[in-house]
């Protein structure tokens, strides 16, 4: 067994990425190798449904396990797109981090909100701005 798979102190997400890379490698698992984003959709939905049930049951141990299963499928998807040089896990995390900072100016930019209605209006305004095509400035 690859010793890096058991190393203490190694970033757990990096370990999961390494495991997925092995599973999808030439000597990996035939099931993992043949998967596509389209074939994984049903598994992603199943795992999310199982997570929702665990949340409904307030079962922390089961919730932890199901979150892990969802992360596995997501890591498979990220790996597939990275293999095709579309994006990496870092790109995914950079994008979502920037989005959450942008959508929470009341937290990260000190813009005050008075109530939940203002919060919802701000969120919808920011989402609408994000969907607009960028304007080009030609001088």
Listed residue (97, 98, 103) closest to 121, CA to CA = 103
Listed residue (70, 68, 67) closest to 45, CA to CA = 70
- Tell me the percentage of the chain whose pLDDT exceeds 70: 91
Mean of the per-residue pLDDT values of the chain: 91
pLDDT at 48 over 80: yes
Please report the domains of the chain, with CATH numbers, ordered by start residue.
1-87 (1.10.287.1080), 89-131 (no CATH)
The pLDDT-based confidence of 90 (bands split at 50, 70, 90) is: very high
* H-helix segments, the chain: 12-24, 30-34, 37-56, 60-83, 89-103, 105-108, 116-131
Per DSSP, the residues of 61-74 read: HHHHHHHHHHHHHH
User: Are the C-beta atoms of 16 and 67 separated by less than 8 Å?
Assistant: no
pLDDT digits (tens, 9 = 90+) for 56-67: 999 999 999 999
| 1: enclosing H helix or E strand | none
């Amino acid at each position: 067994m690859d010793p890096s798979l058991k190393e203490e102190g190694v970033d757990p997400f990096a370990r999961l990425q390494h495991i997925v890379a092995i599973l999808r490698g030439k000597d990996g698992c035939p099931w993992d190798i043949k998967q596509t984003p389209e074939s994984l959709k049903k598994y992603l939905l199943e795992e999310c449904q199982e997570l929702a049930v665990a949340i409904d049951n307030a079962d922390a141990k089961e919730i932890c396990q199901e979150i892990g299963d969802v992360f596995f499928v997501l890591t498979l998807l990220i790996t597939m797109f990275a293999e095709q040089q579309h994006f990496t896990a870092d790109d995914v995390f950079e994008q979502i981090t920037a989005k959450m900072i942008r959508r929470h100016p009341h937290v990260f930019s000190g813009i005050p909100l008075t109530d939940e209605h203002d919060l919802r209006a701000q969120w919808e305004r920011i989402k609408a701005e994000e969907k607009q095509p960028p304007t080009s400035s030609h001088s």
